[in-house]
Amino acid sequence: QSVLTQPPSASGTPGQRVTISCSGSSSNIGSNYVYWYQQLPGTAPKLLIYRNNQRPSGVPDRFSGSKSGTSASLAISGLRSEDEADYYCAAWDDSLSGLYVFGTGTKVTVL
Amino acid sequence: QVQLQESGPGLVKPSETLSLTCTVSGGSISSYYWSWIRQPPGKGLEWIGYIYYSGSTNYNPSLKSRVTISVDTSKNQFSLKLSSVTAADTAVYYCARGVTGTAPYYYYYYMDVWGKGTTVTVSS
């Protein structure tokens, strides 16, 4: 089902910078905004980044998003233990009558 | 502060219809797009669809033949019905508030407030 591809895992030590990639196509990332959601263990997803690089109120500026062509990335700088979670990219897809697609998800581990 | 709460049976038999309700508190259901998302055990997120408070809907094509989302503005609730369920429909079901618009270049849609989720198991 997932049309947005992410690496299954990423890791870093506290204080490091971790980057997660999200690869899509011209019908989704290439022609729409990208969003990122953080899912802490056992909880509901939380909006982390909207419209490529905007942070909702309360999200630390350690989290940043970017987009180029049909790919996007999420960067976490100054990695902290509480950042250990699953991260999902998402975008609207213009194929068929339109649908919202999520990435395959990336598990971030703080070593 | 808007809060969402899912409710409904945690166990549904194969071939029957899954029915869930999401109650919106702390704000009006008018405006915004109200969405359903699911997550099978140990797997990723899947968007099911949304409804605008006026009643217009958009469903994931892969589920469209089995899904109905409705809204009851008088109760500040919206609901999900998924028919002919199988074990593959076993998942945590989330309701969420959707924000949409067009600016400055593209249409945008994202979920900014989520419920805690409810687990639905399909089993006889």
Q: What is the rounded distance in angstroms from the CA atom of residue B17 to the CA atom of residue B43?
A: 22
Q: How distant, in Å, are the alpha carbons of B15, B37, B47, B49 from that of B111?
A: 30, 10, 10, 12
66-105 in chain A: CB under 8 A from chain B: 88, 90, 92, 96-105
- Contact criterion met (CB < 8 Å) for A44 and B44: no
- Contact criterion met (CB < 8 Å) for B108 and A100: no
List per-residue pLDDT tens for chain B, 124 residues long: 999 999 999 999 999 999 999 999 999 998 899 999 999 999 999 999 999 999 999 999 999 999 999 999 999 999 999 999 999 999 999 999 999 988 777 889 999 999 999 999 999 9
| Chain A hits for B108, Cβ within 8 Å | 32-33, 50-51, 92
| Chain B hits for A44, Cβ within 8 Å | 94, 114-117
**Is 90 exceeded by the pLDDT of residue A84?**
yes
pLDDT value for A38: 98
Give B45→chain A minimum CA distance, Å: 6
pLDDT value for A2: 72
Q: How distant, in Å, are the alpha carbons of A9, B68, B87 from that of B59?
A: 30, 8, 21
- What's B88's DSSP letter? G
**Is 90 exceeded by the pLDDT of residue A7?**
yes
> Using 50, 70 and 90 to split pLDDT, how confident is the model at A97?
confident
- Contact criterion met (CB < 8 Å) for B94 and A44: yes
B45 lies within 8 A of chain A by CB: yes
- In chain A, % of residues over pLDDT 90: 94
Q: What is the rounded distance in angstroms from the CA atom of residue A28 to the CA atom of residue B9?
A: 35
Name the E strands within chain B: 3-7, 11-12, 18-25, 33-39, 46-52, 57-59, 67-72, 77-82, 91-102, 107-114, 118-122
Give A102→chain B minimum CA distance, Å: 6
18-37 in chain B: CB under 8 A from chain A: 35, 37
The average pLDDT across A16-38 equals 96
pLDDT value for B45: 97
- Burial classification of residue A81, based on how many CB atoms lie within 10 Å of its CB (0-12 exposed, 13-18 middle, 19 or more buried): exposed
- What's B10's DSSP letter? S
**Is 60 exceeded by the pLDDT of residue A68?**
yes
Q: Are B39 and B120 in contact (CB under 8 A)?
A: no
> Using 50, 70 and 90 to split pLDDT, how confident is the model at A1?
low
